[in-house]
Amino acid sequence: MTDDQNGYHHYGGIPPHQRGETSREAAQAILPRTGTLRRRVYDWWYAQLEGGTDDEAQVALEMDPSTERPRRIELTQDGLLVETNLTRPTRSGRRARVYVCAEFVEVLAPAPEPVPAGPLVQTGLFDQDEDANPW
């Protein structure tokens, strides 16, 4: 099957795998389920308005890390999930990156309020005698 036939356009048309016959066989075997698994992973992340980590998703979905993480990577590559600068501790105490659905990025990390432009004298940089030359 080509990428167009199976609809799987990630990783060259086959789920990620290590070099070796058994790994490639496992990747081929999971291919028909990747869309369903990806949807489960996306639905979980969609419900997390404050984002989530791979570890949190794996626990909540009762999904093996080798199954969840590639689906999250695919969703990120497709622009549906966004990596943030935030981290949270995993079950082992290590820091893990927080991802969020693209449409919730502003909720999790809103853009800073724009600073209104005004004359420099209002900034306090030149609070001195008007006749004095600051240079």
The average pLDDT across 24-41 equals 73
Position 122 in a domain? no
Per-residue pLDDT, 123: 45
Position 23 in a domain? yes
Contact in structure between 131 and 85 (CB atoms under 8 Å): no
- What stretch of H or E contains 100? strand 95-101
Position 17 in a domain? yes
pLDDT in tens, 120-134: 444 444 444 555 544
The range of the structural domain enclosing residue 19 comes to: 3-109
pLDDT in tens, 51-89: 999 999 999 999 999 889 988 988 898 899 999 989 999
The average pLDDT across 79-101 equals 93
- Number of domains within the chain: 1
Position 83 in a domain? yes
Position 87 in a domain? yes
Q: Name the residue with higher pLDDT: 29 or 69.
A: 69
